[in-house]
Structure 1
């Protein structure tokens, strides 16, 4: 095993200019991450200079067998924390051979919104809080939980320390450092309310970059849990009953919200979000109705509400934002399994472009 480890960690820079590029894309479910690697003759860091590639879409639920070729367009590049050196991770989106985005390519539509002049001038910032649950591989039950049983009730586990309260910290720390190495703007991590559940935050990120970074961070987490023999779950309510669900709270601001008088812009934006509540909920993640019950720090999925420092509301405005009269707000409705391209672009579209 030591020889295998030595070989997988070989430093290629000593013998060749060639690098390995891991092309990453989203599969047919909208959540399954796929990837494959190719050799490039020299280091490349600009996605526009990377070659397009193809894959068998019939094997990912994205194309029929008789016409299965799907084309990958490189969109964002990160350093590879697994192969290291000058090797790279490449976030891609998918197109038909004719150049049309395939139906599961949500990045394309998001990029259209973020390239709109009215959106560009507002410089939308995002900070996304990605919650997730670590499961024991063979039983699909949270790590640290007795198999077929339950731990003590919630209370001691949030941001906790200790072998009886914090489960999976080695995975969390490995992911934290790997994201920093990759160049992802990960801004923190913490243990969550349900034992075996954790959160990482990415941001501030501007526009389409927010979606790219969350998908890259999810890919790195999938790879680390693969190595650890643990299953990553983004289910918004992995355990039924008196346990917290998992969300992807999305913090948001525009240039107009960040300057003097921004609180009025924030209030108008929140009002517009309320008018399109049903449309947003429909796009905020599958199974979210199991999480948004009005309990466990959530608002009911059926009603829209907002408040200052209220974690039981659909949208929360922070105390500092209220005091300063400018800043940001938090949309607490997105589920942990939301597509960040969809959520970020929809918030920008509703608050900046949509005219009620």
Structure 2
């Protein structure tokens, strides 16, 4: 049975201090009443608290906000760690809080924990304990101070990664000596859609209806073109505070849809940062009363889908003659297209139709500055003979551990047979000549192996 303790004198003094300096604009009646009482000097701070509780229409909310913003550092060295992990669907995020004795600087200082896997769709009720291993820490923008967000992955009691733990396999690939030597960089463009809470219809859209056609919304400004900017800006600042390497944000082509970019990050760090940024966005939309969707095609019809384009380069690609290394990696990617597509997000076939800046899901292609290809190479990369490439196939709900690890594996570790590589190179050359002759857009299509 929990023991109920009365507040200490120190805490009573703190509460009195908070409410004696209370300035939140609630109602003019409440403010004027407090001023009159302060002038008369007839009431103590506890009476001021009663006035707030009785007279203010928003008193409960106001007191709650004060407690949420309470600075506990003068009274304890303890901090709150929010353990975050991925649930049974592979895209849902779960979290719970734990008190840590003192501030920490590394995940190894944080104790392992467990949770009920039968309630997250990851185990049965007979043997339901799943163990959390802390892997990355970020500053907590919601609680502030030394409090932290902890990205974890999940294991059985015997220390085996559970099937939904994709981080473990990614860590093995990124710890390979060849991969380490290539210092893989990732820049991930996370698109998402904001939905009205009760109707699950995009923010800013008329209920049961549609806005004007696409065109003015991409990077648009104005009440009739930009919906949800406060959420996007709040998320931007919260990520910077947390230590996430967020590099930008913008309104997307479909109204109510936004994008932010994370990177460049090295190796598995990119996926850790994306997962933490997603968690922060979930929390912000929760507070705003808006539903966050990572569906790759939230609205059917003539509307853009939502992707998670992944920019990638290796040390060899960034050095002189790196363009040839990029083209070799593209050949590898073409030969493993089906394997990549199967791991690039649920429902991606509704998005990769060949329309709305995509290529068909059953086709592999690449081109310079062409957003209708599977792989886009920037003009500067072609001009400078080195740089990076962009994989435009991943859906907005992709698992960044899976996608980044696959790109590193296919580009650095995987070696095709000489026959397959020669055939892919030959097909690429023939398709390029055909495109040039017919005047088609500069996108090179590669015949996929059967």
TM-score bucket (shorter structure): over 0.9
1:1-356 aligned at under 5 Å gives the runs 1-356=61-416
- Aligned mates of 1:325, 1:104 — CA distance in 2: 40
Mapped partners of 1:206, 1:125: distance in 2: 5
Q: Deviations over 1:119-163 (max 9, x none)?
A: 000000000000000000000000000010000000000000000
Q: CA deviation at 1:282?
A: 0.3
Is there any run of 5+ residues in structure 1 with no aligned partner, and where? Answer: none
1:14 Cα deviation (Å)?
Answer: 1.6
Secondary structure, counterpart of 1:160 in structure 2: coil
Pairwise CA distance, 1:93:
0.1
- Count of residues in Structure 1 that have an aligned counterpart in Structure 2: 356
* Superposed CA offset, 1:164-204 (max 9, x none): 00000000000000000000000000000000000000000
Q: Distance in 2 between matches of 1:316 and 1:346?
A: 17
Distance 1:224 1:45 in 2: 25
Q: Which runs of 4+ in 1 moved over 4 A?
A: none
Cα distance in 2 for residues equivalent to 1:12 and 1:322? 55
In structure 2, distance between residues paired with 1:45 and 1:240? 46
CA distance in 1, matches of 2:105, 2:70: 21
Cα distance in 1 for partners of 2:101, 2:70 equals 17
Larger Rg: 2
- Structure 2 unaligned segments of length 5 or more: list them: 1-60, 417-450
Take 1:122 and 1:273, find their aligned partners in 2: how far apart are those partners?
17
* SS of equivalent to 2:160: coil
How many Å apart are 1:48 and its aligned residue?
1.0
Structure having the higher strand fraction is 1
